[in-house]
Amino acid sequence: MVHDKLYLPGLVKLRRLVDEGFFGRILSIRGEFGYWVFEGEIQAAQRPSWNYRKEDGGGMTTDMFCHWNYVLEGIIGKVKSVNAKTATHIPARWDEAGREYKATADDASYGIFELETPGGDEVIGQINSSWAVRVYRDELVEFQVDGTYGSAVAGLNKCVAQQRAHTPKPVWNPDLPVTESFRDQWQEVPANAELDNGFKLQWEEFLRDVVAGREHRFGLLSAARGVQLAELGLQSSDERRTIDIPEITL
């Protein structure tokens, strides 16, 4: 029932923008996650070898879609459908003992999600997750939310935003080089508070709810929805189709 990512400074700032109505009507959320995990032959891999063996419970979809479910729920709204494409880009890797093995699990997963906000608006989400990508972004994971009034990009720590009134008016001309710095046109969102470790903060919230006798916002059903999204993501890739997500009840 982990949901620590929601307490990361960048996502805390992003959620605050949502709560303050900064985006207007939210249109889409786009996420990029991942980095290059070395195969282990020349340089040691920075992730354990079981991550790349399906028979041992490995795989990008199983690992990360559980996280993406509570991130999407906690920032935008309910996940209504999933269309995913998984891939095993690196077919052979080397384990901790230097032995070559066949990678049987997916090392990348590309997902498109239909979301519904608490107000009933439809939002399109897409998240690329890969252990076979080299990083050309400010952080290892970034989410961009676009709305009618403004947009924001949040990583693990930093969040920048651009209001409608401050949005430039670029003109597409592939024959001329770009002369403006698009990154300089965004403003950083301040933390306005000291933010502690995400795992610690989620435990403190849980214990406060236990002591007060309140229902915790991320309980058993939240965990089940995360596992469900991962399983349906794998099914979607296998069957090459969009799958609607059924309600889970106790």
Point out which residues pair with 129 in neighbouring strands. Answer: 33, 109
* SS3 of residue 69 by DSSP: helix
Instruction: Please say if the pLDDT value at position 193 is more than 90.
Output: no
> pLDDT band for position 213 (50/70/90)?
very high
Distance from C-alpha of 2 to C-alpha of 54, rounded to nearest angstrom: 22
pTM over 0.85: yes
Question: What are 99's two structure tokens?
Answer: 């032995």
Instruction: Please say if the pLDDT value at position 1 is more than 80.
Output: no
Under 8 Å between Cβ of 161 and 187: yes
- Tens of pLDDT, residue by residue over 60-115, are 999 999 999 999 999 999 999 999 999 999 999 999 999 999 999 999 999 999 99
Distance from C-alpha of 23 to C-alpha of 186, rounded to nearest angstrom: 14
Distance from C-alpha of 149 to C-alpha of 23, rounded to nearest angstrom: 5
User: What is the rounded average pLDDT of the residues 208-224?
Assistant: 92
CA dihedral 111, 46, 196, 214 (to 10 degrees): 50
> What secondary structure does DSSP assign to 185-244, as a single string?
G-EEPP--S----HHHHHHHHHHHHHHHTPPPSS-HHHHHHHHHHHHHHHHHHHHTS-EE
- Tens of pLDDT, residue by residue over 8-67, are 999 999 999 999 999 999 999 999 999 999 999 999 999 999 999 999 999 999 999 999
Q: Which domains does the chain have, with CATH numbers?
A: 4-244 (3.30.360.10)
